[in-house]
Amino acid sequence: MAYWLVKSDPDAYSWNDFEKDKETIWDGVRNYQARYNLKSMNKGDKVLYYHSQSDRAVVGVAKVSQEYFQDPTTKDDSWVAVKLKLLYKLNSPVTLSQIKSEPILSEISLIKQSRLSVMLLTAEEYLKILAMGV
């Protein structure tokens, strides 16, 4: 089982939108590294859901419910999407500044590669963020 973090601009698609849908197609990724990560996802992997831009916090947890397939938003078959199923919302969002202040999270891609939208987490990073959101 792997652990991931995906970013969404809440103005485009927020956790609230996700709660209404329960399951969503994670499409629109147009970055090679992010695509590689999408292709590496296995069904059942856990995914932290991060709000970028105005919010800048991890707000909830999802899981991969369908492995990668052709991105339906483009005819270009080199891009892929996955399906994510909502699991639960964190009791308290874990903000970017909290993440930055934790030494064991200092190597997290969220900080190191601020523009990457789909990234792999270690189990330690994943569990630490969950613990901070209780």
The H or E element containing residue 10 is none
Residues 31-50 touching DNA, rule: CB under 7 A, are 31-33
User: In whole angstroms, how close is the CB of 97 to DNA at the nearest point?
Assistant: 6
d(CA 33, CA 12): 21
Q: Contacting DNA (CB under 7 A), which of 42, 73, 101, 114?
A: 114
Q: 36: closest CA among 103, 119, 128?
A: 119
Residue 110 binding DNA, by CB under 7 A: yes
Can residue 23 be called a binding residue for DNA (CB under 7 A)?
no
Q: Decide if residue 7 touches DNA (CB under 7 A).
A: yes
Q: Cβ of residue 51: shortest distance to DNA, in angstroms?
A: 8
Among 26, 74, 49, smallest CA distance to 130 is for 49
